[in-house]
Amino acid sequence: MELKDYFDNAKGLGVLSTADDQGRVDAAVYSRPHFLDQDTVAFIMPDRLTHQNLQSNPHAAYLFAEEGFNTRGRRLFLTKLREEKDSELLAQLRRGHHGREATERYLVFFKIDKVLPLIGPGEED
């Protein structure tokens, strides 16, 4: 199963973790990633701690735990490629999502460096 198909169909909880240039770590609940291709994902984010950390440290990890299972899910290791502020693509991806509104939003693009299962060191089959 392709990673995009997995995230299109899986339900669960996602957490995006970042660290600043001093190594201070943050973790925040995020929805499933938007896939642009098999190796590139994007997240929509306000200018809060996660976004601020990515300005000085491009590395992040996304942990996704499947609903109803305590051992099934994925871990994505990511490197920031670029970002767009309040872009047309961001508006297209955001349609139908209702959450707390912020004055500005960023669409942050990441390269997927590595994918691991939620539990264990090996690659997912």
Q: What's the pLDDT at 112?
A: 98
Check whether domain 3-117 has CATH 2.40.30.10, yes or no: no
Q: Is the pTM of this model over 0.85?
A: yes
Q: Which tens digit of pLDDT belongs to each residue from 20-37?
A: 999 999 999 999 999 999
Distance, CA of 57 to CA of 101 (rounded, Å): 26
Q: What's the pLDDT at 98?
A: 54
With 0-12 / 13-18 / 19 or more C-beta atoms within 10 angstroms meaning exposed / middle / buried, residue 77 is: middle
